[in-house]
Amino acid sequence: MASDPNTITATVRRMELARLLERVPHESDGRSKRVLVLPNGREVFSEAHSLALTLQGRVLECLSEAEAETFLMLLERVAEACSEASSSGARKKD
């Protein structure tokens, strides 16, 4: 999924303040930063991932196993198309 750079920066800043990650200088590009996930960030991610999988399972219970598999495959194709459209749209603006 595409996001506005300002939104990403603000999100990273909040996560850094919450001590979930830290930004460190890139070793070869002085203009760039690397984002390192801290142990607390890994723990929060693990908990969120587990909750997301549980919720996904509950939501998909209304579908048969074959329907759920098809739905997830189609959803992935739509996400890829959105990403491609976003990327090509960004290039057209230049």
pLDDT at position 92: 53
CA distance 45 to 41: 6
Q: Which amino acid is at 87?
A: S
Q: Parse the chain into domains and list their residue ranges.
A: 1-62, 63-94
Mind listing the pLDDT tens digit for each residue in 44-85? 999 999 999 999 999 999 999 999 999 999 999 999 998 888
What does the pLDDT look like over 13-46, one tens digit per residue?
999 999 999 999 999 998 999 999 999 999 999 9
CB 82 within 8 A of CB 1: yes
Looking at 3.40.220.10, 1.10.10.10, 2.60.40.180, 3.40.50.720, the CATH number of the domain 1-62 comes to 1.10.10.10
Give the HSE-up count for residue 80: Cα atoms under 13 Å, Cβ half-sphere: 6
